[in-house]
Structure 1
Amino acid sequence: MVAAGAASLLGVVSWVEELGDQAQAHIQQLSKAAGEDDHFLIRASKEFSNPSHLLELHTQAILDMTYFEDNKLVDEDFPEDSSPEKVEELISFLSEPEILVKENNVNSESCDLFGDELLECLSWRRGALLSMYCHSLTKRREWLSRKSNFLQKYLVDGISYLLQMLNYRCPIQLLSAGIFSDIHVLAMMYSGEMCYWGLMHCAYQQLESCEVDTGVSGAGCTLHKEPLDFREVGEKFLKKYVFVCEGTLKEQEWNTTNAKQILNYFQHCYN
Structure 2
Amino acid sequence: MTKTYLKFIFTAALISISSYVQSQVVTLDHYFNSETKPSADGQSHPFHYLWNDTEMTGFSILGASFKGNGAKELSVLFKKPTAKTLAGSDVYIIVDPDHLKDNPKPNYMNSEDANAIAGWVKRGGVLLLLGNDKANADLEHFNILAEKFGFRFNNDLILHVTDDAHFEDGAINISNNQIFKTSRKIFIKDASSISISHTATPVLKTSKGEVAMVISKYGKGIVLALGDPWLYNEYTNGRLPQGFENDKAADDLSKFMLKSIKLKR
Band the TM-score falls in, shorter-chain normalisation? under 0.3
What TM-score, normalized by structure 2, do the two folds share?
0.28
The structure with the larger Rg is: 1
What TM-score, normalized by structure 1, do the two folds share?
0.27
Q: Which has the higher contact order (CA 8 A, sep 6+)?
A: 2
More strand by share: 2
More helix by share: 1
